[in-house]
């Protein structure tokens, strides 16, 4: 029973939040005249000592004391005697842990935002370097249309912007203080919950004492945002893995972010990217883990909720590591322009440009233009050349409305430059999007 009941091995990470919550609580108790000033001063001094001890040497775990709250309270009693017992007036471990955990998760949102910002900045820097670099855009992993590398990297900037917004939304929703809800019904002491909420940086106290101690939506919000961020990181990792393979050769991974083989000395394996791809699964599983814990719990507190912290702590550590690794890779990847340009020119990537030209220049309905372009692709395939390799006579034979003026759209450079619609891949668009993203950042 002692072993299964103890949570100190996990919740010891909350010691800073537990001490902060206790400071706010006892200060309020003193201001409300519930605890005498001398006892308040002794408790605050004792909490200062405990904070210094834990900061210097860490917490010494005692499973018999179950959790971080009892560790702090027991050490406080050792330091100041019976006055320590007054700290828990008008408070339960239920509202105490709910407050500590909210404080921790709120800070975790800010930490993740710092990591997301660093990766976004790295992507913007590389996108700026490669606003004109041509690469193939894919659908179904088949060459579809040429794009710029800068535009491709900006797609991930947009994903990370949504990730940042999700963490910001989660932090705003969780910015209510449960302290003072006590076990589940509130307290008969004349406490000032607004005072403790303000002292801990919350916008307001929570509105319902039952919900206050039983809610873990804030942790699920965090995990949902972390899962989405991990999904995005995994997609980028997968592209780096593909691009680094010899059939593509789009990127060269520096030695710092790759590993060798135990038997094949020529290998440069994208292990960091592969591990980011794998760890995304842990982030997705963490949300499922906590969701299954919470899904059948009646109000208010149940001991099941003691297991709420492990998946959140693990997910936070994993996401932070993945963000740091991905930022390092993005900053140092070597992009190989020639293979990208060659791949963009393959697969008849400018076929849509021919169809669009027929619509614009010859007033051909798009479906008819699509059919004409298909015949041009077949003709080029038969000759083993690209579309721009067809002669003027070849093109006119396919359809008399195709004139030499079509040459202006058949190169990959012309195709990319023409995509000037909002959100398009034209280099001018890319540079404007980079500037706008930096302003938002």
Annotated catalytic sites, by residue? 140, 261
Which residue, chain included where needed, has tokens 């509202």? 95
Q: Are 241 and 120 in contact (CB under 8 A)?
A: no
* DSSP code for 259: B
Q: Are 386 and 360 in contact (CB under 8 A)?
A: no
Q: How far apart are CA 192 and CA 197, in angstroms?
A: 9
What separation in angstroms does the CA of 67 have from each of 184, 210, 303?
19, 22, 12
Which residue, chain included where needed, has tokens 């537990």? 18
* DSSP code for 249: -
* DSSP code for 126: H
3-state secondary structure 290-346: HHHHHCCCCCCCCHHHHHHHHHHHHHHHHHHHHHHHHHHHHHHCEECHHHHHHHHHC
Helix, strand, or coil (residue 148): strand
- Give the burial string for 127-137 (b: 16+ CB within 10 Å, else e): bbebbbbbbbb
Q: Are 193 and 209 in contact (CB under 8 A)?
A: no
**Neighbour tally for 338: CB within 10 Å:** 9
Q: How far apart are CA 48 and CA 43, in angstroms?
A: 9
Q: Which residues contact 7 (CB under 8 A, 6 or more apart)?
A: 66, 67, 306, 309
Q: What would the two tokens of residue 312 be? A: 């959140």
Q: Which residues contact 1 (CB under 8 A, 6 or more apart)?
A: none
Q: How far apart are CA 86 and CA 44, in angstroms?
A: 12
Q: How far apart are CA 161 and CA 159, in angstroms?
A: 5
Q: Are 122 and 327 in contact (CB under 8 A)?
A: yes
**Radius of gyration for the chain, computed over Cα atoms and rounded to the nearest angstrom:** 30
What separation in angstroms does the CA of 108 have from each of 98, 116, 311, 409, 441?
15, 12, 13, 50, 19
Residue 176 pairs in a beta bridge with: 204
């Amino acid at each position: 029973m002692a072993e299964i009941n103890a949570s100190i091995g996990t919740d010891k990470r909350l010691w800073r939040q537990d001490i902060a919550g206790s400071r706010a609580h006892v200060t309020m108790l003193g201001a409300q005249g519930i605890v005498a000033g001398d006892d308040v001063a002794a408790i605050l001094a004792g909490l200062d000592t405990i904070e210094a001890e834990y900061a210097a040497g860490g917490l010494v775990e005692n499973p018999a004391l179950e959790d971080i709250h009892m560790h702090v309270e027991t050490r406080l009693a050792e330091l100041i005697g019976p006055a320590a017992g007054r700290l828990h007036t008008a408070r339960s471990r239920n509202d105490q842990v709910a407050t500590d955990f909210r404080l921790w998760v709120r800070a975790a949102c800010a930490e993740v935002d710092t990591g997301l910002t660093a990766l976004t900045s790295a992507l913007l820097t590389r996108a700026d370097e490669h606003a004109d670099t041509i690469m193939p855009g894919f659908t179904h992993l088949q060459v579809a249309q040429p794009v710029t590398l800068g535009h491709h990297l900006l797609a991930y900037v947009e994903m990370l912007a949504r990730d940042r917004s999700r963490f910001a939304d989660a932090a705003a929703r969780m910015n209510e203080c449960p302290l003072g809800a006590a076990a589940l019904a509130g307290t008969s002491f004349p406490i000032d919950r607004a005072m403790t909420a303000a002292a801990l940086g919350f916008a307001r106290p929570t509105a319902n004492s039952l919900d206050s101690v039983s809610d873990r939506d804030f942790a699920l919000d965090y995990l949902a945002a972390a899962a989405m961020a991990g999904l995005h990181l995994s997609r980028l990792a997968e592209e780096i893995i593909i691009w680094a393979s010899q059939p593509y050769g789009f990127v060269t991974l520096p030695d710092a972010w790759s590993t060798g083989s135990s038997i094949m000395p020529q290998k440069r394996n994208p292990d960091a990217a592969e591990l980011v791809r794998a760890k995304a699964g842990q982030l997705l599983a963490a949300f499922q883990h906590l969701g299954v814990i919470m899904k059948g719990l009646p109000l208010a507190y149940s001991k099941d909720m003691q297991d709420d912290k492990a998946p959140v702590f693990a997910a936070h550590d994993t996401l932070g590591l993945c963000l740091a690794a991905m930022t390092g890779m993005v900053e140092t990847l070597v992009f190989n322009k020639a293979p990208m340009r060659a791949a963009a020119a393959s697969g008849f990537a400018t076929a849509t440009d021919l169809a669009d030209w027929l619509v614009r220049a010859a007033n051909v309905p798009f479906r008819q233009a699509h059919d004409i372009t298909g015949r041009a692709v077949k003709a080029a395939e038969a000759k083993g050349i690209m579309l721009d390799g067809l002669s003027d006579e070849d093109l006119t034979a396919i359809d008399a409305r195709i004139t030499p003026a079509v040459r202006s759209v058949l190169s990959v450079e012309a195709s990319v430059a023409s995509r000037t619609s909002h959100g398009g891949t034209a280099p001018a668009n890319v540079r404007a999007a980079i500037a706008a993203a930096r302003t938002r950042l």
